[in-house]
Structure 1
Amino acid sequence: MPITLDNVGIAVRDLEAAIAFFTDLGLEVVGRDTVSGEWTDTAVGLDGNHANIALLQTPGGQGRLELFEYLHPDAIETEPTLPNEIGMHRVAFQVDDIAHSLEIAAAHGCHPLRGVANYRDIYKLTYLRGPSGILVMHAQDLTRAET
C-alpha cells in the first residue's frame, strides 16, 4: 500500500499570528475554513468540535501544515514541549539563510532556545519557540552551493 505524508496538524492559540509567522518564513496559505458538525466530531473525537483552520504549504508543495484554532471545546493550555519529551516534537524547515530566517522569526518575538549550532560543517541549525510555543527548527545546509 503506497503512503504519503499529507500534513502536520498543529493547534494554536492565535491562528492569525501563526499564519503571519509561517507566511513570513515563506509558506503560502492554500486554504482556510471553519469546520464543525457531526463529521468533525466523528473524525476528531471531540463532541461539539468547532475550529478555524488554515492549510499552508512550502514553496513547491513538498510540505504542508494544517493550523487549528479551536472555538469549541476550549483549547487546553499546556506547558511548551521540551526537546526531550516523548510525543510530537517539532516542525523543521530547511532554509537558505539561517540568519535571515532568524531575523524574520525575531520580528514575531521568536528566538533560538540557546543559539545556532554548527553540525560538522554540514548544517547550521537551531530550535526556537514559534507561535503558541511550537518548537520550530531552522537548518541551513552548508554543503549546498551558494547562489
Structure 2
Amino acid sequence: MPTRLDNVGIAVRDLDEATAFFTDLGLRVLGRAEVSGEWADTAVGLDGNHARIALLETPDGHGRIELFEQVHPEAVEAEPVVPHQVGMHRVALAVDDLDAALVVAARHGCHPLRGVATYEDSYRLTYLRGPSGILVMLAQQLSGA
C-alpha cells in the first residue's frame, strides 16, 4: 500500500497572522475554507466542529501545512512545545538564505530561541517561535554539503 505524507496540521490562534508568516517565508496558499457539519464532526471526532483553514505549500510542491483556527468549540490553549518534549514537535523549513528568512521572521516578531548554529559545515539552522507559539526550524544547506 503506497503512502505519502499529505500535510501537517497546525492549530493557530489567528489564521491570517499565521498564514502571513508562512507566506512571507515563501509558502503559497493553495486554498482557504471553512469546515463544519456532520462530516467534519465525524472525521475529527468533535461535536460541532467548525474551523477556518488555509492549506499552504512549499515552492517545490513537496510540503504542505494546513493551518486551522477553531471557531467552535472554543480553542483550548496549551503551553508551547519545548525542543525536548514528546509529541508533535516542530515544522522545519529549508531556506536558501537563512539570514533573509530571519529578517522576514523578525517582521512578525519571531526571533531565534538562542541563535544560529552550524552543523558539521553542512547546515546553518535555528529554532524560533512562530505565530501561536509554533516551534519552527529554519535550515540553510551550505554549499558543498
Normalised by the length of structure 2, the TM-score is 0.98
The amino acid of 1:90's aligned partner reads R
Aligned ranges 1:1-147 → 2 under 5 Å: 1-144=1-144
Q: CA deviation at 1:120?
A: 1.0
Q: How many residues align?
A: 145
Alignment RMSD (CA, Å): 0.9
TM superposition shift of 1:143 = 3.0
1:46-72 per-residue CA deviation (whole Å, 9 max, x = no partner) reads 000000000000012110000000000
Gap change, CA 1:9 and 1:100, over 3 Å in 2: same
CA distance in structure 1 between the aligned counterparts of 2:50 and 2:13, rounded to whole angstroms: 14
Structure 1 runs not aligned, ≥5 long: none
**Segments of 4+ moved more than 2 angstroms:** none
Q: Distance in 2 between matches of 1:144 and 1:28?
A: 29
TM-score by length of 1: 0.97
After superposition, give the CA deviation of every residue in 1:33-52 in whole Å (9 maximum; x if it has no partner). Answer: 00000000000010000000
Deviation at 1:109, TM superposition (A): 0.2
Residue ranges of structure 2 left out of the alignment (5+ in a row): none
